[in-house]
Amino acid sequence: MSGERRYFLDVKKSARGVSWEHRLDARGENLALGMAQSHGMPEIVARVLAGRGVSQEVAERFLAPSIRELLPDPVTLTDMEKAATRIAEAVVARERVAIFGDYDVDGAAASAMMKRFFAHYGIEAEIYIPDRIFEGYGPNPEAMRDLVRRGARLIVTVDCGTNSGPAIAAANEAGAQVVVLDHHQVGGALPDAVAVVNPNREDDLSGQGHLCAAGVVFLTLVQTTRILRKKLSAPPPPDLLSMLDLVALATVCDVVPLVGVNRAFVVKGLLAARQMQTPGLSALARVSRIGEPLNPYHFGFLIGPRINAGGRIGNAALGSNLLSALEIAEAEAIAETLDRLNRERQDMEAAMLAEARAEAEAELASGEGPAVLVTASDKWHPGIVGLIASRLKEQGRRPAFAVAFDANGIGTGSGRSIAGFDLGRLVREAVSEGLLVKGGGHAMAAGITVERKKLGLLRAFLEERAGAAVSALRQADSLKIDAALSADGATFDLFDMLEAAGPYGSGHPAPTLALPRHRLADARIVGNGHIRADLRAHSGARLQAIAFRAAETELGKFLFEKRGATVHVAGQLAVNHWNGMRSIQLRLTDAAEA
């Protein structure tokens, strides 16, 4: 909500270097008060809803999102009728079908959904996932021709294809037709496919640009099922709602905004996931040692990274193979492999991150530092640069790139942005200026290919184009606080009510609560660089807190220095499950002098 800056607890500079501000302005506080009184909900819950643009009129429906109410009519997406009709024709004619997917969680989930749909009708569709290192993102002409040589008459691309004109032309020339189901921004002319269903194409007026690829696939399968009901008397239509666990997984892991039907996808998909009916998901939950009901945190930080590990440093098809597996034994074997690859990925990431952080800190040591951090090495694994860029962005509070150069001086890089800065657009401008071999992405993330000899020019270009905007965003950077709370008030009842206002993620941030003037009784390192803190209220009430990956950060230094002192802390309420016991804890994200 707009207006003059209102500092929360008068914190103008926290341990992380940001101010704390009220999420609500005076008008928002009045709205929250009215909502609490009219619906009989705790004021803290009403403040959370008001701070996320939920009006008093829709508050009750918002707390119980329904697929039936929120699912858009699929045909409002441009080309949907063409796409669903062509897929239905393939089912009726029992054609050979190939699915070309991306190597991340969204691509794996979307590919698995398509494969399971065709399998329901007795059609064995082949999934092809490109190798991240050797083939890069999206369809390439040789792979498409190869799929046609192996018999494919229809190729469905999922989570890719919008910007793959030459590859789709190659498939057409070889004798196949292509349907594109995607959600990425359009970088030029659309390819010559039977249909390009992408809610982010300029002539799509559906208003569903927040969908991930798995969400687009789900809508496509809804419309295809409608058509097949009229064409086939048997078998009965597939249970599409049973696939919502994969839609929820992809929606969380692709960090798309949790608005509209995406909220219902995640709420209902988590309910489906907890039934453990998808062998791949249940196998991954076991190897991830999740001993509690699945929630978005598990998807985003435990299950998603294991699926991604296959595409980063192993076999890119492992994720889609896992999520489409019907046999428990097969799923468990793949899950074990992904768990091992994830441990290897973590070791590689730790070594790369130490080197990248040293380079970044050297750049930031003198004054404000560059607007966009660019780190590079010829020793890094190109499959992990996105993770490094994400960590550097968090550390430097500015957009960041990490680039892995090969022996020929060609770098594969990945960038991550801060809220309010469109990194994808900047990358496309760098391509048009001839500074990049290729590049693309969206507002918050981008991929690039760059020659070593042009790295200096690229740095200068980024500084020139991004300097003023990034500086303004950094100066305005603040932690938005929803409400104040004491350790006494951190109860299971409050946690459950706040959860009902979720799920939380991109576009619908988790409530950040401030605990004023609590004594930091203890702070110690646990696990892999996390900090466990023991907070005491004035009344003597205790609350355990955990600050993830904070040991080497400014927040970590602050917590160690202030042991025994009275401080303000901020974070999100969570439930910790340990040895069959549940306890409320705070996921501590910032702290400040009291």
User: At residue 143, what are phi and psi to the nearest 5 degrees?
Assistant: -65, -40
Residue 307 has a pLDDT of 97
Q: CATH number for the domain including 391?
A: 3.10.310.30
274 and 322 inside one domain: yes
Residue 534 lies in a domain: yes
Q: How far apart are CA 451 and CA 449, in angstroms?
A: 7
Amino acid at 154: L
Q: How far apart are CA 420 and CA 477, in angstroms?
A: 10
Residue 268 half-sphere exposure toward CB, CA atoms < 13 A:
19
What domain range includes position 120? 69-341
Structure confidence at residue 1 (pLDDT) = 45
Residues 322-329 have a mean pLDDT of 96
CA distance 245 to 476: 38
Distance from C-alpha of 123 to C-alpha of 94, rounded to nearest angstrom = 7
Tell me what the pLDDT averaged over the chain comes to. Answer: 95
On the question of pLDDT at 367 being above 80, the answer is: no
In a domain, 96, yes or no: yes
Residues 302 and 413 in one domain: no
Task: Quickly count: other Cβ atoms within 10 Å of residue 416's Cβ.
Answer: 23
3-state helix, strand, coil in the chain (%, to 5): 45, 20, 35
Q: What is the mean pLDDT of residues 10-32?
A: 95
- Cα 56–chain centre separation: 29
Look at 121-125, 135-139, 386-390, 545-549 and tell me which has the smallest mean pLDDT: 135-139
Q: How far apart are CA 51 and CA 508, in angstroms?
A: 9
pLDDT digits (tens, 9 = 90+) for 449-479: 999 999 999 999 999 999 999 999 998 889 9
Residue ending a domain, among 307, 341, 375, is 341
What is the rounded distance in angstroms from the CA atom of residue 465 to the CA atom of residue 363? 18
pLDDT at 2 over 60: no
Residue 330 within any structural domain of the chain: yes
Helix (H) or strand (E) holding 159: none
Q: Out of 308, 326, 341, pick the residue that ends a domain.
A: 341
C-beta of residue 157 within 8 angstroms of C-beta of residue 48: no
Is 117:241 a contact under the CB 8 Å cutoff?
no
How close are the terminal C-alpha atoms of the chain, in Å?
26
Instruction: Please check whether residue 63 lies inside any domain of the structure.
Output: no
The one-character DSSP state at 454 is G
Residue 62 lies in a domain: no
Residues 467 and 422 grouped into a single domain: yes
Is residue 351 one of the residues assigned to a domain? no
Question: Is residue 3's pLDDT more than 70?
Answer: no
- Give CA–CA dist 101/127, Å, rounded: 7
Residue 361 has pLDDT above 60, yes or no: yes
Task: Compute the CA torsion angle 367, 351, 338, 216 (nearest 10 deg).
Answer: 20
Q: Which residues of 174-193 are buried (b: 16+ CB within 10 A; e: fewer)?
A: bebbbbbbbbbbbeeebbeb
DSSP single-letter state for residue 489: G
Query: DSSP assignment, residue 233?
Result: -
Residue 281: pLDDT over 70: yes
Least confident of 221-230, 416-425, 572-581, 584-593: 572-581
pLDDT bucket at 482, cuts 50 / 70 / 90:
very high
Mark out the alpha helices in 234-367 (DSSP H runs): 244-253, 261-273, 279-287, 296-298, 304-313, 318-324, 328-364
SS3 at position 326 = coil
Which residue carries 């008030």 as its tokens? 489
**What is the widest separation between alpha-carbon atoms in the chain?**
75
Whether residue 435 is found in the same domain as residue 322: no
Q: Do 290 and 371 belong together in one domain?
A: no
Residue 353 inside a domain? The answer is no
Q: Is residue 109 part of a domain?
A: yes
Q: Are residues 77 and 163 in the same domain?
A: yes
Mind listing the pLDDT tens digit for each residue in 572-589? 999 988 877 889 999 999
472 and 489 share a domain? no
From 324, 341, 358, the end of a domain falls on: 341
Same domain, 465 and 516: no
The tens digit of pLDDT for each residue in 152-166 reads: 999 999 999 999 999
> ω before 503 within 30° of 0 (cis)?
yes
CA nearest to 120, candidates 232, 244, 250: 232
How many Å apart are CA 591 and CA 499, to the nearest integer?
23
Instruction: Tell me: do 462 and 486 sit in the same domain.
Output: no
Shared-domain flag, residues 161 and 301: yes
List the CATH number of the domain containing 492. 2.40.50.460
Spatial contact of 314 and 341, defined as CB atoms under 8 Å apart: yes
Long-range contacts of 45-49 (CB under 8 A, 24+ apart): 45/497, 45/498, 45/500, 45/501, 47/23, 47/482, 47/483, 48/482, 48/483, 48/498, 48/501, 48/511, 49/501
Q: Residue 506 has what pLDDT?
A: 86
Q: What CA–CA distance (Å, rounded) separates 215 from 112?
A: 13
In the chain, % of residues over pLDDT 70: 99
Q: Which of 469, 471, 468, 416 is nearest to 441 (CA)?
A: 416
pLDDT score, position 518: 98
Cβ contact 127:101 at 8 Å: yes
Pairing of strands 513-526, 566-578: antiparallel
The conformation of residue 384, written as its DSSP 8-state character, comes to G
Residues 376 and 316 in one domain: no
Same domain, 225 and 267: yes
Q: What pLDDT digit, counting tens, does each position of 70-101 carry?
A: 999 999 999 999 999 999 999 999 999 999 99
Total domains in the chain come to 3
